[in-house]
Structure formats: structure tokens, C-alpha cells
């Protein structure tokens, strides 16, 4: 019984670590549109190089957590962004413009 408890505790700890490291990775994309009045931004994701992946479709629209994040961003800029799901819509919690 004790061995099984230790085993499952180890599995749970590994799962938490993997999820935390996956959450820290940003997604890259190209800004296709910005609506500063509604605090939304449209971003087309950049292909990650996976063979056969078809992720370069239409742009996705996201709300931004802080409207100040989109003040220095313009259509055509490449960005790295981090999202959080809330209330059925994706919200950008961090946005970095690539130089």
C-alpha cells in the first residue's frame, strides 16, 4: 500500500512539473489586426516546423488582459504570446514583440 502511494505521488508531481513547463512556453505569431477600443488583437500563428502540421489558417482573435500591452504593437509585427482560458474565450496575459 505504501509503495502504491509513493508511486502515485511521484506521478502527480511529474504531471505538475510537465504542465508548469508547458505553460511557460510562448506561442509565436504575426499580428494581423488590432482593435484598441475593444482591447482585442488578431494573431495568425506561425508554423512550428512539424511535418504535416496545418496550423497556418486564419487569424485568431484574443482579448488582452491589459490594454497597454497592445499600444506598441502594429499589424505585421511578429510576437510571442501567452494565453489563459477564461469564460470560454482566450485572453492574452503576456505579449512580447519580436525585434
- What pLDDT does 6 receive? 73
pLDDT band at 20 (very low <50, low <70, confident <90, very high): very low
The domains found in the chain, sorted by start residue, are: 27-97 (2.40.50.320)
Cell 502527480, residue located = 12
- CA dist., res. 87 & res. 96, Å (int): 24
- pLDDT at 24 exceeding the cut of 70: no
Tens digit of pLDDT for each residue in 26-83? Answer: 899 999 999 999 999 999 998 766 655 555 568 899 999 999 999 999 999 999 999 9
> What one-character DSSP code corresponds to residue 84?
E
- What pLDDT does 52 receive? 56
Amino acid at each position: 500500500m505504501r509503495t502504491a502511494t509513493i508511486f502515485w505521488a511521484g506521478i502527480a508531481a511529474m504531471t505538475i512539473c510537465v504542465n508548469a513547463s508547458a505553460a511557460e512556453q510562448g506561442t509565436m505569431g504575426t499580428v494581423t489586426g488590432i482593435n484598441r477600443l475593444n482591447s482585442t488583437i488578431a494573431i495568425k500563428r506561425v508554423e512550428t516546423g512539424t511535418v504535416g502540421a496545418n496550423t497556418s489558417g486564419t487569424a485568431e482573435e484574443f482579448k488582452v488582459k491589459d490594454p497597454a500591452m497592445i499600444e506598441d504593437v502594429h499589424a505585421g509585427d511578429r510576437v510571442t504570446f501567452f494565453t489563459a482560458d477564461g469564460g470560454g474565450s482566450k485572453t492574452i496575459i503576456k505579449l512580447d514583440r519580436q525585434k
